[in-house]
Structure 1
Amino acid sequence: MKKVTIGGVPEHFNLPWYLTLKNGEHKQKGINLRWKDYPGGTGAMCKALREKEIDIAIILTEGIIKDIIEGNPSKIVQTFVQSPLNWGIHVAHHSPYKTVKDLKGTKAAISRYGSGSHLMAYINAENHHWDIENDLNFEVIKDLDGAIEGLTNGSADYFMWEKFTTKPIVDRGIFRNIGNCPTPWPCFVIAVREDFIENNKEDLKTILNIINTTTADFKSIPNIDKTIANRYEQELEDVREWLSITEWSQSLIDEETIMNTQKELHTLNIISGVVNYDRLTYKL
Protein backbone atom coordinates (compact mmCIF):
# COMPACT_ATOMS: atom_id res chain seq x y z
CA MET A 1 0.00 0.00 0.00
CA LYS A 2 1.34 3.42 -1.00
CA LYS A 3 2.07 5.67 2.00
CA VAL A 4 1.35 9.38 1.45
CA THR A 5 1.74 12.09 4.10
CA ILE A 6 -0.41 15.23 4.06
CA GLY A 7 -0.24 18.29 6.30
CA GLY A 8 -2.73 20.97 7.27
CA VAL A 9 -3.89 23.21 10.08
CA PRO A 10 -6.08 21.54 12.75
CA GLU A 11 -9.07 23.70 11.84
CA HIS A 12 -12.61 23.27 10.56
CA PHE A 13 -11.62 23.92 6.93
CA ASN A 14 -9.92 20.53 6.90
CA LEU A 15 -12.78 18.47 8.34
CA PRO A 16 -13.52 17.03 4.86
CA TRP A 17 -10.08 15.37 4.94
CA TYR A 18 -10.79 13.90 8.36
CA LEU A 19 -14.08 12.45 7.11
CA THR A 20 -12.45 10.74 4.11
CA LEU A 21 -9.76 9.29 6.39
CA LYS A 22 -12.30 8.16 8.98
CA ASN A 23 -14.26 6.37 6.26
CA GLY A 24 -11.14 4.60 4.98
CA GLU A 25 -11.73 5.80 1.44
CA HIS A 26 -8.05 5.97 0.50
CA LYS A 27 -7.23 2.52 1.82
CA GLN A 28 -9.93 1.11 -0.45
CA LYS A 29 -7.84 2.50 -3.32
CA GLY A 30 -4.52 1.14 -2.00
CA ILE A 31 -3.32 4.43 -0.48
CA ASN A 32 -2.25 4.79 3.15
CA LEU A 33 -2.88 8.54 3.56
CA ARG A 34 -1.49 9.89 6.83
CA TRP A 35 -2.59 13.29 8.15
CA LYS A 36 -0.21 15.51 10.12
CA ASP A 37 -1.42 18.60 12.02
CA TYR A 38 0.56 21.82 11.70
CA PRO A 39 -0.66 24.27 14.38
CA GLY A 40 2.15 26.61 13.29
CA GLY A 41 0.41 27.06 9.94
CA THR A 42 1.77 27.82 6.50
CA GLY A 43 5.36 28.66 7.43
CA ALA A 44 5.74 25.31 9.19
CA MET A 45 4.22 23.46 6.22
CA CYS A 46 6.49 25.20 3.70
CA LYS A 47 9.44 23.94 5.76
CA ALA A 48 7.92 20.44 5.93
CA LEU A 49 7.51 20.30 2.13
CA ARG A 50 11.10 21.41 1.60
CA GLU A 51 12.39 18.82 4.06
CA LYS A 52 10.16 16.04 2.63
CA GLU A 53 8.32 15.52 5.93
CA ILE A 54 5.09 15.71 3.94
CA ASP A 55 4.14 15.07 0.32
CA ILE A 56 1.06 17.30 0.19
CA ALA A 57 0.03 20.46 2.08
CA ILE A 58 -3.32 22.21 2.48
CA ILE A 59 -1.79 25.64 2.65
CA LEU A 60 -2.49 29.37 2.37
CA THR A 61 -2.29 30.65 -1.21
CA GLU A 62 -0.07 33.66 -0.49
CA GLY A 63 2.36 31.68 1.66
CA ILE A 64 3.04 28.88 -0.80
CA ILE A 65 3.35 31.29 -3.74
CA LYS A 66 6.04 33.19 -1.83
CA ASP A 67 7.86 30.01 -0.86
CA ILE A 68 7.80 28.45 -4.35
CA ILE A 69 9.27 31.68 -5.75
CA GLU A 70 11.96 31.40 -3.06
CA GLY A 71 12.87 27.87 -4.12
CA ASN A 72 10.38 25.44 -2.57
CA PRO A 73 10.27 22.57 -5.11
CA SER A 74 6.47 22.23 -5.00
CA LYS A 75 3.50 23.09 -7.19
CA ILE A 76 -0.10 24.14 -6.61
CA VAL A 77 -2.32 21.40 -8.09
CA GLN A 78 -5.73 22.68 -6.99
CA THR A 79 -7.64 25.33 -5.06
CA PHE A 80 -9.07 23.81 -1.87
CA VAL A 81 -11.15 26.67 -0.44
CA GLN A 82 -12.32 29.20 -3.03
CA SER A 83 -13.66 31.82 -0.64
CA PRO A 84 -11.41 34.39 1.10
CA LEU A 85 -10.06 33.74 4.59
CA ASN A 86 -11.51 36.15 7.10
CA TRP A 87 -8.58 37.13 9.31
CA GLY A 88 -9.62 38.50 12.68
CA ILE A 89 -7.42 41.21 14.20
CA HIS A 90 -7.04 40.45 17.90
CA VAL A 91 -5.64 42.19 20.96
CA ALA A 92 -5.45 41.03 24.56
CA HIS A 93 -8.69 41.57 26.44
CA HIS A 94 -6.97 44.07 28.79
CA SER A 95 -5.21 45.87 25.90
CA PRO A 96 -5.61 49.68 25.64
CA TYR A 97 -6.06 49.39 21.85
CA LYS A 98 -9.67 49.82 20.73
CA THR A 99 -9.50 50.09 16.93
CA VAL A 100 -7.22 48.82 14.16
CA LYS A 101 -5.84 52.31 13.54
CA ASP A 102 -4.58 52.32 17.15
CA LEU A 103 -2.23 49.47 16.17
CA LYS A 104 -0.14 51.57 13.78
CA GLY A 105 3.52 51.17 14.74
CA THR A 106 2.88 48.45 17.34
CA LYS A 107 4.11 44.85 17.29
CA ALA A 108 2.29 42.05 15.47
CA ALA A 109 2.52 38.49 16.74
CA ILE A 110 3.28 36.10 13.88
CA SER A 111 3.62 32.32 13.83
CA ARG A 112 6.83 32.61 11.79
CA TYR A 113 8.24 34.72 8.97
CA GLY A 114 6.58 33.81 5.66
CA SER A 115 3.43 32.61 7.42
CA GLY A 116 -0.08 33.86 6.73
CA SER A 117 -0.11 35.87 9.95
CA HIS A 118 3.07 37.60 8.75
CA LEU A 119 1.95 38.28 5.16
CA MET A 120 -1.55 39.41 6.11
CA ALA A 121 -0.09 42.00 8.49
CA TYR A 122 1.24 43.67 5.34
CA ILE A 123 -2.16 43.49 3.64
CA ASN A 124 -3.79 45.02 6.73
CA ALA A 125 -1.14 47.76 6.84
CA GLU A 126 -1.76 48.57 3.19
CA ASN A 127 -5.52 48.66 3.76
CA HIS A 128 -4.97 51.33 6.43
CA HIS A 129 -2.32 53.27 4.47
CA TRP A 130 0.44 52.64 6.99
CA ASP A 131 4.12 53.05 6.20
CA ILE A 132 5.21 49.46 5.55
CA GLU A 133 8.82 50.18 6.51
CA ASN A 134 8.15 51.98 9.79
CA ASP A 135 4.71 50.95 11.03
CA LEU A 136 5.16 47.14 11.06
CA ASN A 137 7.06 45.25 13.77
CA PHE A 138 6.96 41.53 14.49
CA GLU A 139 7.26 39.04 17.33
CA VAL A 140 7.48 35.33 16.41
CA ILE A 141 5.13 33.30 18.66
CA LYS A 142 4.93 29.94 16.73
CA ASP A 143 1.21 29.17 17.12
CA LEU A 144 -2.12 30.09 18.68
CA ASP A 145 -0.99 29.11 22.19
CA GLY A 146 2.08 31.29 21.73
CA ALA A 147 -0.14 34.17 20.63
CA ILE A 148 -2.25 33.86 23.78
CA GLU A 149 0.89 34.02 25.88
CA GLY A 150 2.48 36.83 23.85
CA LEU A 151 -0.55 39.13 23.85
CA THR A 152 -1.29 38.45 27.50
CA ASN A 153 2.27 39.23 28.69
CA GLY A 154 2.69 42.17 26.31
CA SER A 155 5.55 40.88 24.16
CA ALA A 156 3.26 41.53 21.18
CA ASP A 157 0.30 43.85 20.69
CA TYR A 158 -1.96 42.20 18.12
CA PHE A 159 -2.43 38.90 16.34
CA MET A 160 -4.12 38.05 13.04
CA TRP A 161 -5.69 34.59 12.69
CA GLU A 162 -8.81 33.11 11.11
CA LYS A 163 -11.63 34.75 13.06
CA PHE A 164 -13.80 31.66 13.62
CA THR A 165 -10.84 29.64 14.92
CA THR A 166 -10.09 32.35 17.48
CA LYS A 167 -13.74 33.06 18.35
CA PRO A 168 -13.74 30.67 21.37
CA ILE A 169 -10.70 32.56 22.73
CA VAL A 170 -12.60 35.82 22.31
CA ASP A 171 -15.65 34.28 23.98
CA ARG A 172 -13.51 33.26 26.97
CA GLY A 173 -12.38 36.86 27.47
CA ILE A 174 -8.72 36.28 26.53
CA PHE A 175 -8.72 38.15 23.19
CA ARG A 176 -10.79 41.00 21.83
CA ASN A 177 -11.51 41.14 18.10
CA ILE A 178 -11.18 44.76 16.94
CA GLY A 179 -11.39 44.21 13.19
CA ASN A 180 -11.27 41.82 10.24
CA CYS A 181 -9.11 41.56 7.12
CA PRO A 182 -10.29 39.18 4.39
CA THR A 183 -7.75 37.83 1.89
CA PRO A 184 -8.09 39.34 -1.61
CA TRP A 185 -7.80 35.81 -3.11
CA PRO A 186 -8.97 32.19 -2.54
CA CYS A 187 -7.53 31.19 0.81
CA PHE A 188 -6.37 27.55 0.71
CA VAL A 189 -4.71 25.59 -2.08
CA ILE A 190 -3.36 22.03 -2.34
CA ALA A 191 0.41 22.05 -2.89
CA VAL A 192 2.47 18.96 -3.70
CA ARG A 193 6.20 18.32 -3.90
CA GLU A 194 7.36 18.18 -7.53
CA ASP A 195 9.14 14.84 -7.09
CA PHE A 196 5.96 13.33 -5.64
CA ILE A 197 3.90 14.61 -8.59
CA GLU A 198 6.40 13.16 -11.04
CA ASN A 199 6.31 9.68 -9.52
CA ASN A 200 2.73 9.40 -8.24
CA LYS A 201 0.34 11.09 -10.68
CA GLU A 202 -2.35 8.40 -10.53
CA ASP A 203 -2.31 8.21 -6.72
CA LEU A 204 -2.52 11.99 -6.56
CA LYS A 205 -5.50 12.03 -8.94
CA THR A 206 -7.20 9.43 -6.73
CA ILE A 207 -6.60 11.50 -3.57
CA LEU A 208 -7.99 14.63 -5.24
CA ASN A 209 -11.03 12.77 -6.59
CA ILE A 210 -11.86 11.50 -3.10
CA ILE A 211 -11.58 14.90 -1.40
CA ASN A 212 -13.43 16.66 -4.24
CA THR A 213 -16.36 14.27 -3.97
CA THR A 214 -16.54 15.06 -0.24
CA THR A 215 -16.21 18.85 -0.49
CA ALA A 216 -18.78 19.07 -3.31
CA ASP A 217 -21.45 17.74 -0.93
CA PHE A 218 -19.93 18.84 2.38
CA LYS A 219 -22.59 21.40 3.33
CA SER A 220 -25.40 18.91 2.74
CA ILE A 221 -24.02 16.31 5.18
CA PRO A 222 -26.73 15.85 7.87
CA ASN A 223 -25.96 17.82 11.05
CA ILE A 224 -22.57 18.94 9.72
CA ASP A 225 -22.96 22.22 11.63
CA LYS A 226 -23.34 20.35 14.94
CA THR A 227 -20.42 18.06 14.08
CA ILE A 228 -18.14 21.06 13.48
CA ALA A 229 -19.36 22.87 16.60
CA ASN A 230 -18.63 19.84 18.79
CA ARG A 231 -15.30 18.90 17.24
CA TYR A 232 -13.84 22.42 17.24
CA GLU A 233 -15.58 23.70 20.39
CA GLN A 234 -17.42 26.48 18.59
CA GLU A 235 -20.84 28.04 19.00
CA LEU A 236 -23.41 26.66 16.58
CA GLU A 237 -24.37 30.13 15.31
CA ASP A 238 -20.69 30.86 14.50
CA VAL A 239 -20.36 27.59 12.60
CA ARG A 240 -23.51 28.34 10.60
CA GLU A 241 -22.18 31.79 9.71
CA TRP A 242 -18.85 30.25 8.66
CA LEU A 243 -20.56 27.61 6.51
CA SER A 244 -22.65 30.30 4.81
CA ILE A 245 -19.56 32.20 3.58
CA THR A 246 -17.20 29.28 2.84
CA GLU A 247 -16.97 27.65 -0.60
CA TRP A 248 -14.71 24.71 -1.46
CA SER A 249 -13.24 24.22 -4.91
CA GLN A 250 -12.61 21.19 -7.09
CA SER A 251 -10.45 22.87 -9.75
CA LEU A 252 -7.01 24.37 -10.30
CA ILE A 253 -6.55 28.02 -9.37
CA ASP A 254 -6.79 30.13 -12.55
CA GLU A 255 -3.99 32.17 -14.10
CA GLU A 256 -5.64 35.56 -13.53
CA THR A 257 -5.96 34.91 -9.79
CA ILE A 258 -2.35 33.72 -9.55
CA MET A 259 -1.05 36.79 -11.38
CA ASN A 260 -3.19 39.24 -9.40
CA THR A 261 -2.08 37.67 -6.12
CA GLN A 262 1.56 37.95 -7.15
CA LYS A 263 1.15 41.60 -8.16
CA GLU A 264 -0.30 42.39 -4.74
CA LEU A 265 2.53 40.55 -2.95
CA HIS A 266 5.14 42.24 -5.16
CA THR A 267 3.70 45.70 -4.48
CA LEU A 268 4.22 45.02 -0.77
CA ASN A 269 7.79 43.73 -1.38
CA ILE A 270 6.75 40.32 -0.03
CA ILE A 271 8.03 38.64 -3.21
CA SER A 272 10.98 39.78 -5.31
CA GLY A 273 9.19 39.48 -8.64
CA VAL A 274 6.27 37.99 -10.56
CA VAL A 275 6.81 34.56 -12.16
CA ASN A 276 4.95 32.60 -14.83
CA TYR A 277 1.77 30.70 -13.99
CA ASP A 278 3.44 27.39 -14.93
CA ARG A 279 6.21 27.99 -12.38
CA LEU A 280 3.66 27.90 -9.56
CA THR A 281 1.03 25.41 -10.75
CA TYR A 282 0.71 21.93 -12.21
CA LYS A 283 -2.41 20.69 -14.01
CA LEU A 284 -3.00 16.99 -13.56
Structure 2
Amino acid sequence: MPLRVGYVREHFSSPLLQFAEADGGKTVVLVECPSGTGQLISRLANDEIDIAIALTDPLISGIANGSKAYKLVGSFVSTPLNWAVTTGKDSKFNEIADLKGTTIGISRQGSGSQTMAYVMALQQGWPTDDLTFQVNNDIRGLINSVNDGSTSAFMWEWFTTKPFVDAGEARFIGSVPTPWPSWLIAAHPERASHDAVRKFLDTLTTYVGAFDSKEKRASEDVEFIKANFGYPVEDINAWLKTVSYPKDCRAIPKKVITDTLSVLEKAGVVKAPVAGFDVGHFVEEDVTTLT
Protein backbone atom coordinates (compact mmCIF):
# COMPACT_ATOMS: atom_id res chain seq x y z
CA MET A 1 0.00 0.00 0.00
CA PRO A 2 1.28 3.49 -0.77
CA LEU A 3 2.11 5.80 2.12
CA ARG A 4 -0.51 8.44 2.87
CA VAL A 5 1.43 11.70 3.08
CA GLY A 6 -0.30 14.71 4.62
CA TYR A 7 0.81 18.13 3.42
CA VAL A 8 -0.24 21.75 3.05
CA ARG A 9 -0.60 22.81 -0.58
CA GLU A 10 1.76 25.78 -0.56
CA HIS A 11 4.82 26.74 -2.58
CA PHE A 12 7.05 25.05 0.03
CA SER A 13 5.58 21.69 -0.97
CA SER A 14 6.70 21.98 -4.62
CA PRO A 15 9.39 19.22 -4.42
CA LEU A 16 6.83 16.89 -2.80
CA LEU A 17 4.30 17.61 -5.56
CA GLN A 18 6.95 16.84 -8.18
CA PHE A 19 7.79 13.57 -6.39
CA ALA A 20 4.12 12.53 -6.21
CA GLU A 21 3.49 13.44 -9.86
CA ALA A 22 6.39 11.26 -11.03
CA ASP A 23 5.44 8.45 -8.62
CA GLY A 24 1.89 8.21 -9.94
CA GLY A 25 0.48 6.78 -6.71
CA LYS A 26 2.75 3.72 -6.62
CA THR A 27 4.47 4.51 -3.31
CA VAL A 28 2.81 7.73 -2.07
CA VAL A 29 -0.66 9.27 -2.05
CA LEU A 30 -0.89 12.92 -1.05
CA VAL A 31 -3.57 14.03 1.41
CA GLU A 32 -4.13 17.78 1.39
CA CYS A 33 -4.57 19.43 4.79
CA PRO A 34 -5.52 23.07 4.13
CA SER A 35 -5.93 23.96 7.81
CA GLY A 36 -2.22 23.36 8.41
CA THR A 37 -0.22 21.56 11.06
CA GLY A 38 -3.04 21.25 13.61
CA GLN A 39 -5.03 19.30 11.02
CA LEU A 40 -2.00 17.23 10.04
CA ILE A 41 -1.40 16.18 13.65
CA SER A 42 -5.08 15.35 14.07
CA ARG A 43 -5.03 13.17 10.95
CA LEU A 44 -1.93 11.33 12.16
CA ALA A 45 -3.76 10.56 15.41
CA ASN A 46 -6.93 9.46 13.58
CA ASP A 47 -5.24 7.03 11.15
CA GLU A 48 -5.98 9.23 8.13
CA ILE A 49 -2.33 9.71 7.14
CA ASP A 50 0.96 7.90 7.82
CA ILE A 51 3.41 10.78 7.32
CA ALA A 52 3.05 14.53 7.78
CA ILE A 53 5.19 17.34 6.41
CA ALA A 54 4.44 20.03 8.95
CA LEU A 55 5.72 23.00 10.89
CA THR A 56 8.61 22.45 13.28
CA ASP A 57 7.21 24.12 16.40
CA PRO A 58 3.80 22.45 16.74
CA LEU A 59 5.30 19.06 15.89
CA ILE A 60 7.88 19.42 18.64
CA SER A 61 5.45 20.91 21.16
CA GLY A 62 2.98 18.08 20.49
CA ILE A 63 5.52 15.42 21.45
CA ALA A 64 6.72 17.49 24.41
CA ASN A 65 3.13 17.72 25.61
CA GLY A 66 2.61 13.96 25.43
CA SER A 67 1.42 13.05 21.93
CA LYS A 68 2.10 9.42 20.96
CA ALA A 69 0.64 9.84 17.45
CA TYR A 70 3.98 10.47 15.75
CA LYS A 71 7.74 10.78 15.97
CA LEU A 72 10.03 13.05 13.97
CA VAL A 73 11.67 11.25 11.05
CA GLY A 74 13.23 13.96 8.92
CA SER A 75 13.70 17.56 7.77
CA PHE A 76 12.02 19.37 4.88
CA VAL A 77 12.89 23.10 4.90
CA SER A 78 16.05 24.33 6.61
CA THR A 79 15.33 28.08 6.66
CA PRO A 80 12.97 30.00 8.97
CA LEU A 81 9.36 30.74 8.10
CA ASN A 82 8.36 34.39 7.93
CA TRP A 83 4.96 34.74 9.63
CA ALA A 84 2.96 37.78 8.56
CA VAL A 85 0.83 39.44 11.22
CA THR A 86 -2.35 40.41 9.39
CA THR A 87 -5.40 42.44 10.42
CA GLY A 88 -8.66 43.57 8.81
CA LYS A 89 -8.66 46.04 5.95
CA ASP A 90 -10.52 48.63 8.05
CA SER A 91 -9.51 47.58 11.56
CA LYS A 92 -8.10 49.95 14.19
CA PHE A 93 -4.87 47.94 14.60
CA ASN A 94 -1.76 49.39 12.96
CA GLU A 95 1.15 47.59 14.63
CA ILE A 96 1.82 44.46 16.64
CA ALA A 97 1.87 46.40 19.92
CA ASP A 98 -1.82 47.28 19.36
CA LEU A 99 -2.81 43.60 19.65
CA LYS A 100 -2.09 43.21 23.37
CA GLY A 101 -5.12 41.83 25.22
CA THR A 102 -7.09 41.08 22.03
CA THR A 103 -8.36 37.84 20.48
CA ILE A 104 -6.00 36.30 17.92
CA GLY A 105 -7.35 34.13 15.11
CA ILE A 106 -5.79 30.66 14.66
CA SER A 107 -6.47 27.80 12.27
CA ARG A 108 -6.64 25.06 14.94
CA GLN A 109 -5.54 24.37 18.49
CA GLY A 110 -1.89 23.30 18.43
CA SER A 111 -1.26 24.86 15.03
CA GLY A 112 1.71 26.98 13.98
CA SER A 113 -0.58 30.01 13.93
CA GLN A 114 -1.16 29.48 17.66
CA THR A 115 2.43 28.59 18.59
CA MET A 116 3.77 31.66 16.82
CA ALA A 117 1.29 33.89 18.63
CA TYR A 118 3.00 32.79 21.85
CA VAL A 119 6.40 33.57 20.31
CA MET A 120 5.09 37.00 19.27
CA ALA A 121 3.86 37.60 22.83
CA LEU A 122 7.26 36.58 24.19
CA GLN A 123 9.00 39.05 21.88
CA GLN A 124 6.57 41.80 22.90
CA GLY A 125 6.94 41.10 26.61
CA TRP A 126 3.25 40.18 27.05
CA PRO A 127 2.14 37.52 29.58
CA THR A 128 1.61 34.39 27.46
CA ASP A 129 -1.17 33.10 29.73
CA ASP A 130 -3.27 36.16 28.83
CA LEU A 131 -3.57 35.23 25.15
CA THR A 132 -7.08 34.56 23.81
CA PHE A 133 -7.72 32.60 20.62
CA GLN A 134 -10.53 31.93 18.17
CA VAL A 135 -10.36 28.92 15.83
CA ASN A 136 -11.13 29.84 12.20
CA ASN A 137 -9.91 26.71 10.32
CA ASP A 138 -8.13 28.17 7.27
CA ILE A 139 -6.88 31.40 5.76
CA ARG A 140 -10.30 32.29 4.34
CA GLY A 141 -11.87 31.92 7.78
CA LEU A 142 -9.03 33.92 9.32
CA ILE A 143 -9.45 36.79 6.86
CA ASN A 144 -13.20 36.83 7.44
CA SER A 145 -12.66 37.00 11.21
CA VAL A 146 -10.35 40.03 11.12
CA ASN A 147 -12.80 41.83 8.87
CA ASP A 148 -15.93 41.06 10.92
CA GLY A 149 -14.09 42.11 14.11
CA SER A 150 -14.30 38.77 15.93
CA THR A 151 -10.49 38.67 15.99
CA SER A 152 -7.86 41.39 15.89
CA ALA A 153 -5.25 39.65 13.75
CA PHE A 154 -3.89 36.30 12.65
CA MET A 155 -0.48 34.91 11.68
CA TRP A 156 0.19 33.04 8.43
CA GLU A 157 3.13 32.55 6.09
CA TRP A 158 4.10 35.83 4.39
CA PHE A 159 3.90 34.92 0.70
CA THR A 160 0.75 32.81 1.12
CA THR A 161 -0.99 35.80 2.70
CA LYS A 162 0.35 38.40 0.26
CA PRO A 163 -2.19 37.80 -2.56
CA PHE A 164 -5.06 38.57 -0.17
CA VAL A 165 -3.34 41.76 1.01
CA ASP A 166 -2.55 42.77 -2.57
CA ALA A 167 -6.26 42.32 -3.35
CA GLY A 168 -7.18 44.71 -0.51
CA GLU A 169 -8.85 42.06 1.67
CA ALA A 170 -6.51 42.55 4.66
CA ARG A 171 -3.47 44.51 5.87
CA PHE A 172 0.01 43.51 7.05
CA ILE A 173 1.06 45.12 10.32
CA GLY A 174 4.26 43.21 11.03
CA SER A 175 6.12 39.94 10.77
CA VAL A 176 7.60 37.37 13.16
CA PRO A 177 10.16 34.96 11.63
CA THR A 178 10.53 31.60 13.34
CA PRO A 179 13.67 31.23 15.46
CA TRP A 180 14.08 27.70 13.98
CA PRO A 181 14.08 25.93 10.59
CA SER A 182 10.48 25.85 9.47
CA TRP A 183 9.40 22.37 8.33
CA LEU A 184 10.03 18.86 9.66
CA ILE A 185 8.65 15.43 8.73
CA ALA A 186 6.81 13.20 11.18
CA ALA A 187 5.46 9.66 10.92
CA HIS A 188 3.18 7.46 12.99
CA PRO A 189 5.54 5.23 15.01
CA GLU A 190 3.86 1.94 14.02
CA ARG A 191 1.58 2.44 11.03
CA ALA A 192 4.17 2.60 8.26
CA SER A 193 7.17 0.29 8.08
CA HIS A 194 10.51 1.89 8.79
CA ASP A 195 11.77 0.61 5.44
CA ALA A 196 8.94 2.39 3.61
CA VAL A 197 9.55 5.63 5.50
CA ARG A 198 13.29 5.49 4.80
CA LYS A 199 12.64 4.90 1.10
CA PHE A 200 10.19 7.82 1.01
CA LEU A 201 12.70 10.16 2.67
CA ASP A 202 15.56 9.07 0.41
CA THR A 203 13.45 9.65 -2.71
CA LEU A 204 12.21 12.99 -1.37
CA THR A 205 15.85 14.00 -0.81
CA THR A 206 16.45 13.52 -4.55
CA TYR A 207 13.55 15.82 -5.49
CA VAL A 208 14.44 18.38 -2.84
CA GLY A 209 18.03 18.47 -4.08
CA ALA A 210 16.93 19.02 -7.66
CA PHE A 211 14.45 21.76 -6.71
CA ASP A 212 17.07 23.48 -4.54
CA SER A 213 19.69 23.53 -7.29
CA LYS A 214 20.87 26.78 -8.83
CA GLU A 215 19.88 25.58 -12.30
CA LYS A 216 16.27 24.75 -11.37
CA ARG A 217 15.87 27.97 -9.36
CA ALA A 218 16.76 30.00 -12.46
CA SER A 219 13.67 28.98 -14.42
CA GLU A 220 12.00 25.59 -13.83
CA ASP A 221 11.13 26.24 -10.17
CA VAL A 222 9.62 29.60 -11.06
CA GLU A 223 7.49 28.10 -13.84
CA PHE A 224 6.33 25.21 -11.65
CA ILE A 225 5.22 27.50 -8.80
CA LYS A 226 3.58 29.92 -11.20
CA ALA A 227 1.64 27.10 -12.89
CA ASN A 228 0.58 25.41 -9.65
CA PHE A 229 -0.01 28.38 -7.35
CA GLY A 230 -0.51 31.39 -9.61
CA TYR A 231 1.92 33.67 -7.77
CA PRO A 232 3.47 36.61 -9.62
CA VAL A 233 6.99 35.91 -10.86
CA GLU A 234 8.46 38.68 -8.68
CA ASP A 235 6.96 37.09 -5.54
CA ILE A 236 8.28 33.66 -6.53
CA ASN A 237 11.79 34.99 -7.07
CA ALA A 238 11.65 36.90 -3.77
CA TRP A 239 10.62 33.71 -1.94
CA LEU A 240 13.29 31.58 -3.63
CA LYS A 241 15.93 33.97 -2.29
CA THR A 242 14.78 33.25 1.27
CA VAL A 243 14.37 29.45 1.26
CA SER A 244 16.68 26.46 1.30
CA TYR A 245 16.17 22.73 1.75
CA PRO A 246 18.24 20.08 3.56
CA LYS A 247 20.87 17.99 1.79
CA ASP A 248 19.47 14.87 3.49
CA CYS A 249 15.79 14.67 4.45
CA ARG A 250 16.56 11.81 6.87
CA ALA A 251 18.82 14.02 9.03
CA ILE A 252 17.62 16.26 11.87
CA PRO A 253 20.07 18.56 13.68
CA LYS A 254 19.81 18.11 17.46
CA LYS A 255 20.11 21.88 17.74
CA VAL A 256 16.78 22.32 15.92
CA ILE A 257 14.99 20.33 18.61
CA THR A 258 16.82 21.81 21.61
CA ASP A 259 16.61 25.42 20.40
CA THR A 260 12.91 25.09 19.55
CA LEU A 261 12.15 23.56 22.95
CA SER A 262 14.05 26.37 24.67
CA VAL A 263 11.95 29.09 22.97
CA LEU A 264 8.69 27.17 23.44
CA GLU A 265 9.43 26.70 27.12
CA LYS A 266 10.07 30.44 27.57
CA ALA A 267 6.82 31.14 25.72
CA GLY A 268 4.92 28.84 28.06
CA VAL A 269 3.92 26.38 25.30
CA VAL A 270 5.77 23.41 26.85
CA LYS A 271 7.08 22.56 30.30
CA ALA A 272 10.31 20.64 30.72
CA PRO A 273 10.34 17.55 32.96
CA VAL A 274 12.53 17.70 36.06
CA ALA A 275 15.35 15.84 34.33
CA GLY A 276 15.03 17.99 31.19
CA PHE A 277 14.01 16.96 27.69
CA ASP A 278 15.52 13.85 26.09
CA VAL A 279 16.10 14.69 22.41
CA GLY A 280 16.02 11.00 21.50
CA HIS A 281 12.41 10.82 22.70
CA PHE A 282 11.35 13.11 19.84
CA VAL A 283 12.70 11.07 16.92
CA GLU A 284 12.28 7.64 15.36
CA GLU A 285 15.90 6.66 15.77
CA ASP A 286 15.64 3.66 13.44
CA VAL A 287 14.76 6.02 10.57
CA THR A 288 16.41 9.39 11.12
CA THR A 289 19.93 10.53 11.94
CA LEU A 290 20.47 13.15 14.64
CA THR A 291 23.34 15.39 13.61
Query: 207, 210, 213: which is aligned to 1:214?
Result: 207
> What stretches of structure 1 of length at least 5 have no aligned partner?
none
Task: State the shift of 1:25 in Å.
Answer: 6.7
Question: Where in structure 2 are the equivalents of 1:50-61 lying within 5 Å?
Answer: 50-61=45-56
Is 2:31 aligned against 1:39? no
Structure 1, residues 104-148: CA drift from partner, whole Å, max 9, x if none? 1111100111110001001011111122233x2211101111112
Aligned 8 A contact 1:84 1:183 in 2: yes
Per-residue deviation, 1:246 = 0.5
Q: Check the 8 A contact 1:62/1:119 in 2, yes or no.
A: yes
CA distance in 1, matches of 2:173, 2:46: 37
Note the 1:84-123 alignment, pairs <5 A.
84-123=80-119
Verify: 1:184 aligned to 2:186, yes or no. no
Hey, what does 2:234 align to over in structure 1? 237
SS at match of 1:108: strand
Tell me, yes or no, if the aligned pair for 1:49 and 1:72 is still in contact at 8 Å: no
Indicate yes or no: 2:224 matched with 1:227. yes
Q: What's the CA shift string for 1:9-52, capped at 9, x where partnerless?
A: 1111111111111112773xxx2x11011111111111111111
The answer for unaligned runs of 5 or more in structure 2 is: none
Q: 1:35 to 1:26 in 2, by over 3 A?
A: closer
The answer on 1:162 being equivalent to 2:161 is: no
Q: How many residues in Structure 1 have an aligned counterpart in Structure 2?
A: 276
* TM-score between both structures, scaled by the size of structure 2: 0.91
Q: 1:276 & 1:155 partners in 2: Cα distance? A: 40
For the 8 Å contact 2:72–2:283, the answer to whether it is kept is yes
Preserved contact between residue 26 and residue 207 of structure 1 (Cα < 8 Å): no
The equivalent of 1:142 in structure 2 is: 137
Q: Is the contact made by 2:74 and 2:252 (CA closer than 8 Å) also made in structure 1?
A: yes
Tell me the alpha carbon deviations over residues 141-173 of structure 1, each in whole angstroms, 9 at most, x when there is no partner.
Answer: 011111121111111110100010011001100
Q: Name 1:275's counterpart in structure 2.
A: 277
2:169 paired residue among 170, 174, 180: 174
**Contact in 2 for aligned 1:168/1:233 (Cα 8 Å):** no
> Secondary structure in 2 aligned to 1:196?
coil
Q: CA deviation at 1:229?
A: 2.4
TM-score with structure 1 setting the length: 0.93
Q: Distance in 2 between matches of 1:277 and 1:26?
A: 34
